[in-house]
Structure 1
């Protein structure tokens, strides 16, 4: 997914939070706009191409809950995520009933926010994230692997291992970073298990050790197009 194609509107009247969100989302590759009151949200969405709205509830001029209702009444279907300090179950229910796609309570974890933003963008814009390496194609949303248009059955860990290498195509991925990011293990662990998985992946994809997926002795692995 090319994040630069998406514009996120941040509706937040607390300047420190708005600045934090804008900086973080921009560093992730998204385009960002920021407004401090509810009326500006309505105007921006009408005038510009906005992909998703991060909406605070308590804002000047027009509350977020009313902004959400008006956008839905105008048949504007872009994803809306409430990002608010209102944290009761009743608030969450009211926010979702107003037409919001999601409801995140402050204080929030930025990693979780990013994941939810990406999920709603994928769902709304019906994005199938495709990774390619030579004649190998990974459909990330369907967990599907094809080689020469033939479906290859990989286990979950094999799929994630292969996807990690292709996402970092052309760069050596060291063993410990793979264990941390694919296996989610953050302590000393025998990385020899990676050789077992790599052999299984190569066998299923019918690759030799010099094709596409190479072992860098003493370091890790690299996905690279055939020269």
Structure 2
């Protein structure tokens, strides 16, 4: 299991980090919301644990940004604010669980593991036609032939498969990969081209389709693709 901890209190962050590691849970650390968002865009986490009151970007904004980019990773909020309105605000922004400081480290680990199980079990195997993606083993295949994907290609493919057969806008995909700052206007086009070569290649039935003026979709027999 890989967890992202976003916490500006360095002493608390190090304490939680060491305890998670002692429980055989790998952990990445971020000390503000902006740093946390960058790590979410670069890596795939099983659970994200974040403080609410942080510099540069607070936890509520971070959670909302994560959800708006299409990332469904469970988010657990840590905060000293314990009113019902505070908790409701967190849930409205996409949080899955809420712990009030101070908290017991054993309970934090129990909640992290519960969130991870709840998230991974129902949809660990995705399939569209003869294309499969297993989020547990981190393997993708087309007609039982394994596909080699970069982290960005994996992120795009998983998102398109989860949304299939809906069309996903270019803006959604750019936000998923780079947040608000794509490196260039052609960066996504390049990634989609590479992904199309990997997924469709020489197959007679293409699955990855560009819908002019709308976005990208992954599905069978699309008559409006280009």
Question: For 1:129-182, what per-residue CA distance to the aligned partner results, in whole angstroms no more than 9, with x for missing partners?
Answer: xxxxxxxxxxxxxxxxxxxxxxxxxxxxxxxxxxxxxxxxxxxxxxxxxxxxxx
* 118, 127, 152: which one aligns with 1:123: 118
Note the residue ranges of structure 2 that are not aligned, 5 or more in a row: 123-226
Among 62, 68, 72, the residue aligned to 1:73: 68
State yes or no: 1:17 paired with 2:15: no
Higher RCO (CA < 8 A, seq sep 6+): 2
Aligned Cα root-mean-square deviation (Å):
1.0
Give TM-score, length-normalised by structure 2.
0.53
- List aligned pairs for 1:1-227, cutoff 5 A: 6-126=1-121
Q: Could you say what secondary structure the match of 1:61 adopts?
A: coil
Cα distance in 2 between the residues matched to 1:105 and 1:41: 20
Q: How big is the shift at 1:112?
A: 1.2
Unmatched runs of 5 consecutive residues or more in structure 1? 1-5, 128-227
CA-CA distance at 1:103 after TM superposition? 0.5
1:118 CA displacement: 0.6
Normalising by structure 1, what TM-score? Answer: 0.53
Q: 4+ residue stretches of structure 1 with deviation over 3 A?
A: none
> Which structure has the greater CA radius of gyration?
1
Distance across 1 between alignment mates of 2:39 and 2:81: 25
**Count of aligned residue pairs for this structure pair:** 122
Superposition deviation, residue 114 in structure 1: 1.1
Counterpart-to-counterpart distance in 1, 2:51 and 2:69: 20
